[in-house]
Structure 1
């Protein structure tokens, strides 16, 4: 039988350090945590206290994995999930990855150690083949980010339609050189938005141009970087699909600082319809996502899976998006387009 001493030896750490990691004591470095989690995974070690908890009762805890808490989208998602979880008699444990594969796997160990009853994946860093191994230890569902081949429930938004209606709006405004911003090419959310972006371009007889594609754009700082990159082009775009309101806000800020007029010289559209879209000058056109509805559905589905203890099923729940037109794309009256 594998013991805590075996874990400590394989991790190259003291038994007390391993114990602190298992019991979630503060002031343990992320590096040591990863060593312990990796050793536990390699040895198949499950703490005895967790095993007893599994036999006797539930933890009434649900974990949700997100990439970055500072992103307003995930802040709103977590807040809505917490309200829904509380109504179901559960507490929400928030796990931030900062886009790290190792950190994500460390959080998944919580399910293996029976310290949570189920887990919601609102972001994905590892391949599904790696994550699917944890289904042995409890229910997993995906919310927002997704993997089509996953044999678990997925609660998501119609990102293809979102990318399409945002881009079509810019095309209807007369733009033909439109830049595309994305967080990362591996994200299915980003890939589906790009499909919608390309679909709209195709309807207007246009091809997707890689020179107008900008990756790793997540924050206000990234938006400012994107502006400086496109502003140096010989033939810069006249409009930008940002994929995020923070990115749009950063881009608009940098543009104004450099004498570029929004939307006269450059139109910008965001994504999410966060508070920042209403307080920026000009106000930002964006795509509104029904975050609260998605969060409520995710909690409902996971709680049902925890209660039923059934094998995972390939269920799909999808919510629509809508276009909110404001001043950053050339029209001041607010209107919504389904």
Structure 2
């Protein structure tokens, strides 16, 4: 296997000059640079990437913390991040927290021990005071959350507005008794969505139904189970904000089993515009987030901080959501009645 000494001899230059070319350092003429590159190609010399990283004190690795990879929203987000990172010469490691505060801290230690150059957090489970202590160790970018007191870049959709628009759509289709479903009830995302949901109810003089509000609704099975519980309530629920296309799909599946018509008897809205929302029958009305654009922006912002070695400051990159109206809501009936 050829060495840097072999390249220097073949090119007729010093090892110092060859090293500068390999590490893309200045003070090398174009003529010498081309000479070294030609020698490397003809000898089949491949630089030792581990050694280069050690010299530059960079790992060229990003850590992405997420609750669970099985959620299609996060898997699509990760895919966008990985593709974008590879274009910049970085690799991505996936760190599933399973919503554990301790696991989140364990993965943040990768930043303190210099095993990664930066961290993207797609959810935050610890108090921000805990996260703040890691900022001295390297750059942190937060995606899909908005924590007002934090001084780092944030990439997100306005969850309060998105939930408000979805709930108003249910109300405009004639829904009077609306159920609210959320994932992690302690998360900022759930809090903002609840705020938007309540705002829509208050503006429409509709009651909030505590016994029809559920947390930890995260997948198809959650949707099926909650649907059965809603059916046992004394008053009929005619609208559901699920916060997840998986949950909405589970509810629709169970509704069909029990002979409940969607949307005639119950209107259901999902979130994220996952593939399952278009495959269900009826298709699911849902809130779309620009997942790819958000993922790419996270990587761009993080690598910019790594490459230019500047400290994180508060930046808000807010992306627009879009309500995708499909057959799981009362749209056709409303149009006829209007």
> Is TM > 0.5 for Structure 1 vs Structure 2?
yes
Q: What do residues 104-131 of structure 1 show as CA deviations (whole Å, max 9, x unaligned)? A: 1111111111111000000111111111
2:254 alignment partner in structure 1: 254
1:30 alignment partner in structure 2: none
The 3 A distance-change label for structure 1 pair 332 and 75 is farther
Instruction: Name the SS of the counterpart of 2:268 in structure 1.
Output: strand
In the TM superposition, residue 223 of structure 1 has moved relative to its aligned partner by 0.7
1:8 alignment partner in structure 2: none
In the TM superposition, residue 311 of structure 1 has moved relative to its aligned partner by 2.0
Which structure has the larger Rg? 2
Instruction: Name the SS of the counterpart of 2:180 in structure 1.
Output: strand
Residue 109 of structure 1 pairs with residue 100 of structure 2:
no
Distance, in Å, in 1 between the alignment partners of 2:147 and 2:229 is 32
Contact kept in structure 1, 2:122 and 2:145, CA below 8 Å: yes
Distance, in Å, in 1 between the alignment partners of 2:330 and 2:171 is 12
In the TM superposition, residue 56 of structure 1 has moved relative to its aligned partner by 3.6
In the TM superposition, residue 55 of structure 1 has moved relative to its aligned partner by 6.4
Contact kept in structure 2, 1:53 and 1:114, CA below 8 Å: no
Contact kept in structure 2, 1:60 and 1:116, CA below 8 Å: yes
Residue 245 of structure 1 pairs with residue 241 of structure 2:
no
Distance, in Å, in 2 between the alignment partners of 1:101 and 1:76 is 24
Instruction: Name the SS of the counterpart of 1:263 in structure 2.
Output: coil
1:1-338 matches, within 5 Å, as 56-331=56-331
Q: What do residues 163-215 of structure 1 show as CA deviations (whole Å, max 9, x unaligned)? A: 01100110000011000000122211111111111121122112322122111
Which runs of 4 or more aligned residues in structure 1 lie more than 3 Å from their structure 2 counterparts after TM superposition?
A: 52-56
Report the number of matched residues: 283
In the TM superposition, residue 260 of structure 1 has moved relative to its aligned partner by 1.2
Distance, in Å, in 2 between the alignment partners of 1:298 and 1:316 is 11
Gaps of 5+ in 1: 1-49, 334-338
Distance, in Å, in 1 between the alignment partners of 2:183 and 2:194 is 11
Distance, in Å, in 2 between the alignment partners of 1:208 and 1:311 is 44
In the TM superposition, residue 332 of structure 1 has moved relative to its aligned partner by 6.3
Contact kept in structure 1, 2:174 and 2:330, CA below 8 Å: no
Distance, in Å, in 2 between the alignment partners of 1:136 and 1:163 is 35
In the TM superposition, residue 263 of structure 1 has moved relative to its aligned partner by 1.1
1:21 alignment partner in structure 2: none
Instruction: Name the SS of the counterpart of 1:327 in structure 2.
Output: coil
The CA RMSD over aligned residues, in Å, is: 1.7
Gaps of 5+ in 2: 1-49, 334-338
Distance, in Å, in 1 between the alignment partners of 2:248 and 2:98 is 21
Contact kept in structure 2, 1:62 and 1:119, CA below 8 Å: yes
